[in-house]
Amino acid sequence: MNLQAIDNKGQIIEWDEKILKGKKTVLYFYPKDNTSGCTKEACDFRDNMNRLLVYADVVGVSPDNITSHQKFQQKQNLNFTLVADVNHELAEKYGVWKEKSLYGRKYMGIERSTFIINAQGEIEKEWRKVKVTGHVEEIISALSE
Mind listing the pLDDT tens digit of every residue in the chain (145 residues)? 667 788 877 788 777 665 667 789 999 999 999 999 999 999 999 999 999 999 999 999 999 999 999 999 999 999 999 999 999 999 999 999 999 988 899 999 999 999 999 988 899 999 999 999 999 999 999 999 8
Domain count, the chain: 1
Residue type, 4: Q
Q: What is the CATH number of the domain that holds 83?
A: 3.40.30.10
Domain boundaries, position 73: 3-143
Check residue 102 and give its pLDDT: 84
Please name which of 10, 118, 115 lies closest in space to residue 55, comparing C-alpha atoms: 118
C-beta separation of 135 from 52 below 8 A = no
Q: For strands 25-29 and 57-62, give the pairing.
A: parallel
Catalytic residues: 38
Please name which of 73, 1, 6 lies closest in space to residue 42, comparing C-alpha atoms: 73
Check residue 18 and give its pLDDT: 57
